[in-house]
A and B are shown apart, each in its own frame.
Chain A
Amino acid sequence: MSRVNDFAFKSGTVNGTGSASANSLLMQAIFRMGIPVTGKNIFPSNIQGLPTWYEVRVSRDGYTGRPPAIDLVVALNPSTYAQDIKSVCSGGYVVFDSSWPLDPSLLRDDVTMLGIPLGDLCREAFAGDRDRTLLRNIAYAGALTALLQIDLTVVEQMLTEKYGRKKALLESNYRAIRLGYDYARAHFTCPLPFHCEPMDRTGGAILMDGNTACALGALYAGATVGAWYPITPSTSLMETFKAFCQEYRVDPESGRNRYCILQAEDELASAGMVLGASWMGARAFTCTSGPGVSLMQEFLGYAYYAELPGVFFNVQRTGPATGLPTRTQQADLLSMAYASHGDTKHIILFPADPAECFTLTVAAFDITERFQTPVFVATDIDIGMNDWMIPRLQWDDAFVPDRGKVLDEAALAQVKKFFRYVDTDGDGVTARTLPGVGGKGAYFTRGSGHDQWGNYTEDSAAYQDLMDRIKRKFETAERALPAPVVHRRDGATIGIVMIGSPDAPVREAVDRLAAQGVAVDVMRIRSFPFAPAVREFLDQHRTVFVIEQNRDAQLRALLTVETGFPRDAMIPLIDYAGQPLTAGAIVTAMSAHLQEASV
């Protein structure tokens, strides 16, 4: 089988040395050659000095999941040589820095070792330790450009775009690229059996990470108040939002801002700020990760009961506690779904990739105001921080935001009296007013017992009445939230249920199973509480796998509780190691189970 445009490589480096820019340079160059490509950054919770890896998958078929195997490793971090060399598939290649001798015990006879004296080359060519370290990475990018037949002119063009005005920097980067490129051409057979050839499959696409797409969604949805407390992996979401605001939200006449970003003292405060701003009628949001969600619990319950909007991004990382802050997981499902004490429930949207981060973020701001309740947008490190190949984002200028039932001065003039929690049309959603409105619009927002008139109460019947009405509101919401995406195959009796980022590897796995004659349907749930279609899908399949990235099969637990579908009739396929899933792992686990079941 041809290996053109179908392979993966990985670099193992030390973080803080500038390897990130070398990796994204290569990935972007391949993308510009029209070849589908994805990158997964596996990085430490540290600023400098710890091992970091970057995996790039080149897939002419457009598979964007984690690569099934690594064909080439660039081993530049002596402390991980052993594991990095071990991770190459048989018949693969290892590029290493031959400026220093390699421990012979690390050598493998089923892989080809390509030694390049990167350190020596850079020491001769450049002055200063900093430059030498940084440019060593660019030099290996040059070597890979030759080995993998990446278009050198594209690579150089990208350097020009990046360093355009900084002449000296551009010059040294050019030289570093050439050092590696020329060395590889002079000493090895280029290209390797697996390599790149131009295609035309990325024309309508972009490379974007999910945090950027969420930030753009918030910008386009008209969010004006962002309150946050920095936490990996959500930090870049607010920082990017700020950068976009500086570009698009500065009043041209006064030079003043049409946004306000509040860096709070903690996540309790950021949640409170979001609620205050939403109460006042602004579109407001926060972004955080697991530990922050834990701190926001009291306010989330408050917002559920007092019925306040607010968008809460949760870029999930590996828990519990501090956990593995830079590794991915989907383990906050239960903590989001029922956050806070008492009977509560929260709407959650589950984008599967950065494209959906954009559309579902825009939807989230409508949903939160329409249903007057917090909305989580739940992503994870894989979606949030990795560059994905997605279709260009689209915007329709005819879009009109849904601000929900808000009575302004004119509307208030039409009613005899205004009562905050009276359900006039049976959908469970009651009208609100915004502070500052005149006349009879005033009401009291409280987390203590209140009746439909908005008055304090300790009366059992009035309390239950209100709680039942909120339940009704959520039943309305279930039917209005983004529906699950279902892919069916002829004759399938097996179904997969999943959410979020495993979408890519699941789709690849299902293709592979189909090639083996096993037809599998897939339902990717996009919102909680679940739409009626979710239970229907479960009922329609003899065997149901629930694929998710947490130890305790939280999605399956939610499905059991919320749909009443028997827990043991769903096979959990869990992975909680902190890395994005691979199609191979899914196929293996499913096949093993199906075989066992048929014995």
Chain B
Amino acid sequence: MAFKRQIDRLPIPPKDAKVHNVTCHYCIVGCGYKAYTWPRNKQGTAKSNALGIDLSQQQGADGTWVAPSMHNIVRQDGKDVHLAVVPDKECVVNSGLVSIRGGRMAENRPSRITNTQQQRLTDPMIWRNGTWQPTSWDDALDLVARVTARVISEYGEDELLVSMFDHGGSAGGYENTWGTGKLYFQSMNIKNARIHNRPAYNSEVHATRDMGIGELNYSYSDYEVTDTIFMIGANSLETQTNLFLNHMRKGMENGARFISVDPRRTVTINAAEEIAGKENVLHLPIDPGSDMVLMNAILTHIVDNGWTDKEFIKNSTFQGGEAVAADAAHPAGLGSLDYAMQTCRTTTAKAAEICKVPEADIIKAAEWIAKPKADGSRRKCVTCYEKGIIWGNDNYRSNGAIVNIALATGNIGREGGGCCRLGGHQEGYYRPADHVGRPATYVDQLLISGGGKVQHIWACDHFKTTLNAAQYKKVHRRRAGMVKDAMDAAASGTREQQVEAILAAVNAGGLFVVDTDIIHSQIGQNAHVILPAVESNEMNLTSMNGERRLRLSEKYMDGPGDAKPDCLIAAGIAQNLERVLREMGKNDYADKFKGYDWKTEEDAFMDGYHQGNPDVTYDRLRAMGNNGVQEPVHGYENGKLLGTPRLYADGKFDRHGRKDKKALFCAAGWRGLQAPGKERERATHKFWINNVRANIFWQNQFLDQDNDFIQDRFPYPFIEMNPQDMADMGLNPGDLIEIHNENGSTQGMAYPTKTARPGQVAMVFGSPSGSQGNVVNPGVNELVLPDYKHTWGNIRKIANATPKAKGVSFKSKEYTS
């Protein structure tokens, strides 16, 4: 039985409610919202209210409505206030649309009145006497600094492993990437760092950058005026919801065709068929991992038919053969189109064989992308890709093969064009140059093999999201356990004795773990010090979305308890390191940790982002409101920041740093499933385990795990499965099944659907009650990009559907008209 809110009225925001600009902190799209706050004992009336509408009347479709999930009662300056977070019709990103994630921003706030998100951390905690005990910031940071200072000064900074987010939104953003970046890359020279979603500190799109093209180069409005939307390895209706609904949809309504390359039929494809008509939608359900072959064949067909943009190629791309040879840092050579074609050349017939899609459909795709129109004018095409490529097979070359097509057809830097990743989180990266090198260290493997003595974790839960997770967890638990045991044994000792005990334990193979997060995460179960952080809107936060739109999302409430912005936590660690190093008589080293006297997140912003972008300040961003400004900002005039709607409009490409500003093509040579062990895994297991997302969850469900509406729908991670496969195994909808292979096992609930082809299942990523990463092997590419998408396993039944699972609907997710 479905979850019922049993709420049948809500308080009305009064006319004088405070209004705050909010950029949704969940996904890359960054929709605009208005947050209204007002005293708890007040409300407006039907006729006089902050929404400016007559609430005694039923609102029509698309009308303003505060859903129950958009309301909460939170703390603001120490007082309880009502909060309503409502989509902003004036924001050009979403035009008043709301998604199932963004529409729950308010109810996903911690509230002592409504009891929401009581899982949020409120106090620093230290492992003491066999459990985590609350303490002060001074006490917690002192322990962090004492252990860290001893390790980095006695054994070197390579013994400090750092896991840190690199994104915007959520608890990322320019303030927090700067705070952490300054600590680890300026005060220290940390080499063994990794990012929240991959086991190294590296770009997910090295190839496009090496080709000269930043991965976010268009405006969302380009979708509205294009002729073709070419989507690869992405499911935008679910994962960039309002980009699809507010921009791609308009494009299709204006006549654009839609191509999707995805082994699985998604709800995005279904919706595109509804909007554009089946005849204008082409789905290429390729064999998993064969994207590169398809791209090469499309490129070959375009080149051979003369549909390339010759002027553009001549003026804007490299002409002299090979520009960059393949080497350890470049998994493919780069150079002119002719040079790349020597490697990329693939017939449509050959591609049809490898990709297992009809040759005619490959030709059709090439025509939709590049065949000039009847009147001879060029066709515009927006190309977009995401995890199917980024977390897919042979990341570098596959990415390069996609960008090749956009380059050859002159579809970058022009209206109705663009070749972009779609993104997960928003962006918000501003850090000093890193020192990790290329290829970067495979930090998970380093940790598994006993490397590192201290680990600092910032808002990452590798237990739910990394690859080779079963092994990672096993080793992590053992190594952190050694330190817990040592701390317990020295529980009655002084701080000095505690530190000595910890040092002895890490020298014996243990790992001292400091975890900064907003909740007590799964990896946090192994932490020795836990530091509570705030999220967006519990602090001011700046980020940019998938079209580089920079906004200030304003603070409208207090963080829970003693929680702080990550940038100020990083500053606290730096200040304590300075103090402790001075005590140790290491004054030169201590001096490196100066420069963190920030009182607020704005101070961190001014110290970091503002230094590189002197036109940009909080006040100016506030004035730009929810439409913000598209980066890069190139001036300030008449009270407005001047932005850049589209990169490379002048046909000059510089992301690779080449002086000639010429874009390079990628010699994307096909070599099957590139990551070690994948081909063997495929040959020896029955099911391909696709790693997928669902619109209902934000990332690894860290907030959703405490949300009744969400947990009612999917109490366990869904594993979409072909009905015939289920029948063959005697499975009923909702039965708990286990996926297993040599890497480990994981579990979820069988969800029958025809969109799952026989022998293929689609499991939702990052679930707290079934980590897909347990069964993903450690295989990565040369630059340590993981291939989460290609996993094969066998399946067995664990249990009949539980009462919880029985209440769930197992009907098709596809809209029917």
A and B found bound together = no
Q: A-side interface residues toward B, CB under 8 Å?
A: none
B: residues with CB less than 8 A from A are none
